Structure formats: C-alpha cells, structure tokens
Structure 1
Amino acid sequence: MPKFEEKTIATKKIFQGHIINVQVDDVVLPNGKVGKRELVKHPGAVAIIAITSDDKIVLVEQFRKPLERTIIEIPAGKMEAGELPLHTAKRELEEETGYGAEHWEHVQTFSTSPGFADEIIHIYVAQNLYEVSNRAVMDEDEFVELIEVSLQDAQQLMTNEQIYDAKTVFAIQWCLLHKLTKK
C-alpha cells in the first residue's frame, strides 16, 4: 500500500471530451476522513527534442487558448488509444514539422500536473533528421509555424517567456546538460 494512499469510494463523471475527461472522486484520506478530488483524465502525450545536423532545435509556434497567447514549444501531441509512445512521437514529428528521424532515444517520462491530472508525457530526442516526402497532415484545427533555433537562442526565448511550457523548458535544460556532459 502506497504511503498516504487515498482510497476512492465514489466517482462522479463530470465531462467526457475528445482530449480529457473530468471526474470528482470521494476518497478516504490517510487520517480516515473523507475528502473530494477533482481529476482530469488524459491519455498521455509525447514530446520531441528534434536536433538538426547543424545543432539547431526544431520548435513550433502556436496559439494556446488556455493561455490566450502564442508560445514556442517542442513538437508534441496526444497519444491515441493503444498507441506506443515512440509511434506517437514519430507521427507527431512528421505532422508538425515535416521531418522524420533516423535515431530516436527515450529521454524521460514524467507527470505534468499531478495535483489534478493523470497526464504523463514521454520525451524523446530525435536526431539525423530528414525531410519526409509525403508528409502526414496535421489536424484541421492545428496551426503551427516551424522554427529552428540554436541552444543559445532557445535560452533567450525562455528568458523572454516565449518558451513558457514545462515540457519545452525541460527540453532546453536537458540539451544544456547533455551538451555539458559531452565535453
């Protein structure tokens, strides 16, 4: 039994959508009292640190409605039911950037917002990029602009808060650490 486990005694489904589901759980707390937990259920996602042959990081700029602004991110996307994370990563890289990659490596898997959501994200690094001739098409409601930047420029984008999301900040920090350990 996990330390501080909260046992679910009832679940009320609030919303079922295309990307997320929302529910409220009644739970027995470690002290024996009953509490409520509002939960967002998500199928999981992948994100790709795509590195060009001239050591540029491939990013996409897109509008994010929850933030009401445009931000710059590493390519990423939601996993489909039963889809393996690496397959999702390859599909999303092609859809969002038009690139494929010869070399793939899993970097990290982590929870994005454990206080209220079960979403996990799998981060991959993709190298030896090549342009895909018959590129997979993006979702019809997805609009992105491709950007390729140096690691130094990516750090400046973080400072300017144009790179603003956790997965991309993690990716830039990983690149800095990886570059330092190669010396």
Structure 2
Amino acid sequence: MDSLEEKTVKSETIFEGKIVKLVVDDVVLPNGAMSKREIVKHPGAVAVIAITPENKMIMVEQFRKPLENTIVEIPAGKIEPNEAPELTAGRELEEETGYKTEDLTHLVSFYTSPGFADELLHIYLAGDIHKQANPLQADEDEFVNILEVSLDEALQLIEENVICDAKTVYAVQYWQLRNAIN
C-alpha cells in the first residue's frame, strides 16, 4: 500500500480559547501537491453511562449553542490538564447529575470528528451509582435538567431527534444490547 501520510511543513495557531485551539497546517500531500488543513485541537473528553437499579439511564438535558437547540445527552465533560480520564468521568457524573460512583469501567474510546478535530472521547460505564446529599457543584456556566429515562423512552427520544449526538446514541445502543444479552 502506498503511503497516505501528509507531511506538515508549516503550522499556525489561529485561535486559542478556553476549550479548543484552531490550527491551520500547510501540508504536502502524498502526490506532492500542497494543501491546507484546519484542525481543532481539543484536550479530550469523557462520557458516562449511568443506569439506576430501576433500569433507568441518567441523562441531562441542556441547550447546545452550536445546534441552537436543547438536546438530551449522557453526562460528559472535558478532561482537565493532567487529569486521568477516569477521574474526569467520576467528577463529571457527580457535578452534572448529583450521582456518585466508585465503580467505573472503561468501555471504549473514539475520535469524535477525525476529519477536522483530534478530540478523543472515553466512555465509561458507572456501576453502583448513588445520589449524593451534597454533590460537587456544576460549572457556573452549565445549566442542565437531570432525567431518568427508560430504554423505551431513550429509543423514542432518538426517533424524535432529541437524542442526536454520537456518544448518547452509542450509550443507548450499548444499553439495548446489554439488556438483550441479560
């Protein structure tokens, strides 16, 4: 197989924000031609599948400005500098939902949009979740409604395009498969 690698000859940071950095790279293509690549640099994120003893998935409803819409998602958040993904998962679950766990199992990691971003998302399954009386506080700019959703309700929310992000669709399909096996 011929090499498909693109060699970077110049890299320029166009924007550096609180969460992402936008870089424009000049690259040499495998055929020798030049091209530009716009790349979003992201520190990585986690998402948590948390299912109650009553077989309801803990989800959050929040407004997503890029979509100009409110959607329903599993709890998730950005990995802080020098923070292990598992610690982020536990922290985000508690901050966003008030639930805590000491039992996190890593299920999968995947790149969310490899055509333009390097964000790596780690999905964890939370076991033995319990509601905290005094949970960690959510970020000051984060507003969510906490939902407990049955599998049938989650499938209906996908049908209605209320659940419409890849991590949450994955979580519901994982849950559906797990229920079919058990």
TM-score range, shorter chain: over 0.9
User: 1:80-132 deviations in whole A, cap 9, x for unaligned?
Assistant: 01110000000000000000114211110000000000001000010211112
Q: Which moved more, 1:101-110 or 1:54-63?
A: 101-110
Structure 2 gap ranges (5+): none
Moved more, 130-139 or 143-152: 130-139
- How does 1:26-37 map onto structure 2 within 5 Å? 26-37=26-37
Instruction: Output the amino acid matched with 2:77.
Output: G
Map residues 18-167 of structure 1 onto 2, 5 A cutoff: 18-167=18-167
State how far apart, in whole Å, the 2-side matches of 1:82 and 1:29 are.
34
Aligned equivalents of 2:180, 2:29: Cα separation in 1: 44
Aligned residues: 181
1:34 Cα deviation from its structure 2 partner: 1.1
The one-letter code sitting in structure 2 at the alignment partner of 1:115 is G
After TM superposition, give the deviation of residue 3 of structure 1 in Å.
4.0
Identity of aligned residues (%): 56
1:47-92 per-position Cα deviation (integer Å, ceiling 9, x unaligned): 0000101110000000000000000000000000111000000000
> Cα deviation per residue 1:5-33 (whole Å; 9 max; x = unaligned)?
11111001100000000010001111111
Query: SS at the partner of 1:47?
Result: strand
Task: State the distance in 1 between where 2:109 and 2:152 align.
Answer: 25
Q: d(CA) in 1 for partners of 2:6 and 2:21? A: 20
Tell me how far apart the structure 2 counterparts of residues 175 and 102 of structure 1 sit (CA, whole Å). Answer: 20
Q: Distance in 2 between matches of 1:83 and 1:6?
A: 31
How far apart in 2 are the matches of 1:179 and 1:123?
18
| TM-score for the superposition, normalised by structure 2 | 0.97
Cα distance in structure 2, aligned partners of 1:101 and 1:57: 14
Segments ≥4 residues shifted beyond 6 Å: none
Amino acid at match of 1:95: E
SS of equivalent residue, structure 1 residue 117: coil
Q: Any stretches of 5+ residues in structure 1 without a counterpart?
A: none
Corresponding letter in the other structure for 1:166: A
State TM-score, norm by structure 1. 0.96
